[in-house]
Structure 1
Amino acid sequence: MNRDDEALTAKIPADVEQPDKILYGLTARQVAILAVTGLLASWGYMAMADRLPFTVVATVLLPVIGGGAVLALARHDGMGLDRFVLAALVHLRSRKARVEAPEGVQAPPAWCRMRGRLPAPLRLPVRAVREDGVMELADGGTAAVVRAGTVAFGLRTAAEQAALVAAFGRWLNSLEAPVQILVRARPVDLSALVAQLIEAAPRLPDPALEQAARDHAAYLADLDASRELLTREVLIVLRDTAREQQNITLPWTKSKARRVLRDAGAAVVARRAEEAVRSLAVLGVTAEVLDAAACTAVLAESLSPADARLPEAAGPGELISAAEGL
């Protein structure tokens, strides 16, 4: 085979979280749903066969059989329809209004008549962001975020593309903990770049270069004002397995043992994030581990992408003050 026609493939192990197939390519949940559907259809047929015409029995039982088959075999966005329906029912029954109340939402006094339901406390999956950028999760684990760039894959030769795919496959095969790769589009603000060009223009050695820089800044300002610019952002979230190790007996109190496990998990996930940065550098991908400020900004943008960015938060040792005009 010609090297230019080499298939761009890499062998990756199967997803171990996929449920096992036990019968005719069906999972245990699918077999259970189909079995219950078959029992209901059989019971309905035996109960109505002697009393109603066959057409009426078929009209009653066919929707039951079809609904059970669709519920067991159909999928929505990669999720089994039975799980999707269960999640939809939980969503409909849950409270939609959430408020920041770690201590819980207090009920109104007895003399107060309230219409509707009380809001539920907001439970975010991230408990805190450490100074090194590692996130402490609400379930007891930790996670780190790596921001990665992209490569011009289509501009590479076939041999270079095959090498990139093979190197990326080796990195995926080296992973030993859950990793999430998120590719999203986010708005671009060119005001900082425009201000930087205008500030640097007077220092250029030639008047023609200065004028070119100002023209380019004006073009970028007009582009920023007249278009909704988007950029592609790739985020890699690496998690640790501290939550799975919390059942280990340690000679400390429960709170201290939880803190020790969280600190150990933070060190492990930070090391894995650095290893991911080095592995992606082999592919020519520029990557960086997000610090506390960048990680907080990413979380704020993900919770409210349309709102303005939050102001920078002060560090633990910084003085918080405000100056008011007289």
Structure 2
Amino acid sequence: MSDVDLRARIPADVETPDRLLFNLTTRQVAILATAGAIAYLLFRTLLDVLPMPVLLAGLVPLLGTATVLALGRRDGLSLDAWLLAAVRGSRTPRRQVPAPGGVLKTPRWAPALTSAEGELTPPTPLRLPARSIATNGVVDLGGTSAALVAVSTVNLGLRTPAEQAALVGAYARWLNSLTAPVQIVVSTQRVDLAGHAQRIADAADLLPNAALADAAADYAEFLLDLEDERQPLWRTVTIVHTATGARRDQDALRAAEHTAGALQSLGASTRVLDGPAVAAVLAAAVDPYTLPVPGERALPDEPITAEEPS
């Protein structure tokens, strides 16, 4: 195979909506057109009733509000979507608790919950998209099942153009083999070097050779300095397969296993996540600023036991 230049220009935001008219998106055109139609109807209806200055003074705020909603942005969202999220957030109860069977009423003899602002309202059930996580890693989304695959990255920059073409072709074959939508999540988390350094320091005291013990202690100090100065990060790639129907659990797992096998041919390390691993991934997604807990995480409905002290 001859060397091929595989360079391609990829837009920074692949989810940018298409421009429909005058460099405006469909959403912006719809907002402006609706506001313009309402303003025109009001103008034609009230033209013979109100003086022209008063009529224009009443229509300017309407058109100005529509323009701000259509063109304004805040926190990376369009202003209309941001306002809609703000309204939903203001109407959402502040106190929610996990209660699949509903929140039990407080007994009459129990004292009322109060705070500095007064009496607290009773909590409401917390509704999450994921209803349960099976031991095999399948997530029940209520009519839809999802299976997760952890994938490592592959460095294309160190490959020859022919090898890059082969990898891109294999990746394209995997994309063409998909029969259902998938989600590829790329996230970045902090690396816990302090815990690793502590384990090395503890093991250094048990080494019989003094030179090896000193080298291990120096390496532990190096890791601590690296965490303080650089704050290293590690990147995770997770692919989510969903399925519906009577055999949705089996179909989601089968699709995840197919993806794991297909991407292994690219040289990536893949693994279909089981229940504890899926629980850890979801916990890290909702709290990305906290270091992951070492060891396996228990499932939401799994009892936690401890070893009896000897």
**Normalised TM-score (structure 1):** 0.70
1:219 aligns with one of 219, 222, 245: 222
C-alpha spacing 1:133/1:200, structure 2 compared with 1 (3 Å): farther
Superposed CA RMSD in Å reads 4.3
Deviates more, 1:82-91 or 1:143-152: 82-91
Q: Greater share of helix residues, 1 or 2?
A: 1
2:149 aligns with one of 130, 139, 146: 146
Distance in 1 between the 2:203 and 2:135 partners?
33
State the shift of 1:321 in Å: 4.4
Distance in 1 between the 2:224 and 2:165 partners?
40
SS at match of 2:236: strand
SS at match of 1:151: coil
SS at match of 2:128: coil
Distance in 1 between the 2:129 and 2:152 partners?
26
Structure 2 counterparts to residues 39-54 of structure 1, below 5 A: 39-50=37-48, 52=50, 54=52
- Per-residue deviation, residues 23-68 of structure 1 (Å, max 9, x unmatched): x9975x7776455423320232134434555454334323323433
Does the 8 Å CA contact 1:7/1:162 hold for their aligned counterparts?
A: no
Distance in 2 between the 1:185 and 1:304 partners?
12
Deviates more, 1:212-221 or 1:306-315: 306-315
Identity of aligned residues (%): 39
Which residue does the alignment assign to 1:68?
66
Which residue does the alignment assign to 1:254?
none
Letter in 1 for 2:199: A
Structure 2 counterparts to residues 29-48 of structure 1, below 5 A: 33-48=31-46
C-alpha spacing 1:200/1:163, structure 2 compared with 1 (3 Å): farther
Letter in 1 for 2:287: S
Which residue does the alignment assign to 1:286?
269
Deviates more, 1:193-202 or 1:143-152: 193-202
Letter in 1 for 2:271: E
Deviates more, 1:215-224 or 1:295-304: 215-224
Matching of residue 230 in structure 1 with residue 194 in structure 2:
no
State the shift of 1:134 in Å: 1.6
Which residue does the alignment assign to 2:115?
none
Letter in 1 for 2:91: R
1:189 aligns with one of 189, 192, 195: 192
Structure 2 counterparts to residues 66-215 of structure 1, below 5 A: 66-69=64-67, 71=69, 82-106=80-104, 115=119, 117-137=121-141, 139-190=142-193, 191-192=195-196, 195=199, 199=203, 211-215=214-218
Does the 8 Å CA contact 1:185/1:232 hold for their aligned counterparts?
A: yes
Which residue does the alignment assign to 2:256?
273
State the shift of 1:302 in Å: 2.3
Distance in 2 between the 1:32 and 1:200 partners?
68
State the shift of 1:130 in Å: 1.4
**Normalised TM-score (structure 2):** 0.73
Does the 8 Å CA contact 1:180/1:237 hold for their aligned counterparts?
A: yes
Which residue does the alignment assign to 2:305?
320
Does the 8 Å CA contact 1:198/1:217 hold for their aligned counterparts?
A: no
C-alpha spacing 1:170/1:78, structure 2 compared with 1 (3 Å): farther
Does the 8 Å CA contact 1:134/1:292 hold for their aligned counterparts?
A: yes
Task: Point out where structure 1 has 5 or more consecutive residues left out of the alignment.
Answer: 246-260
Task: Point out where structure 2 has 5 or more consecutive residues left out of the alignment.
Answer: 113-117
C-alpha spacing 1:25/1:305, structure 2 compared with 1 (3 Å): closer
SS at match of 1:88: helix
C-alpha spacing 1:312/1:163, structure 2 compared with 1 (3 Å): closer
Does the 8 Å CA contact 1:201/1:213 hold for their aligned counterparts?
A: no
Distance in 1 between the 2:186 and 2:70 partners?
31
- Per-residue deviation, residues 226-259 of structure 1 (Å, max 9, x unmatched): 653321111111111x2xx3xxxxxxxxxxxxxx
Does the 8 Å CA contact 1:300/1:310 hold for their aligned counterparts?
A: no
Does the 8 Å CA contact 2:103/2:123 hold for their aligned counterparts?
A: yes
SS at match of 2:131: strand
Does the 8 Å CA contact 1:72/1:81 hold for their aligned counterparts?
A: yes
SS at match of 1:153: coil
- Per-residue deviation, residues 180-224 of structure 1 (Å, max 9, x unmatched): 1111111212324663586489779x9766654443233224434
Does the 8 Å CA contact 1:198/1:213 hold for their aligned counterparts?
A: no
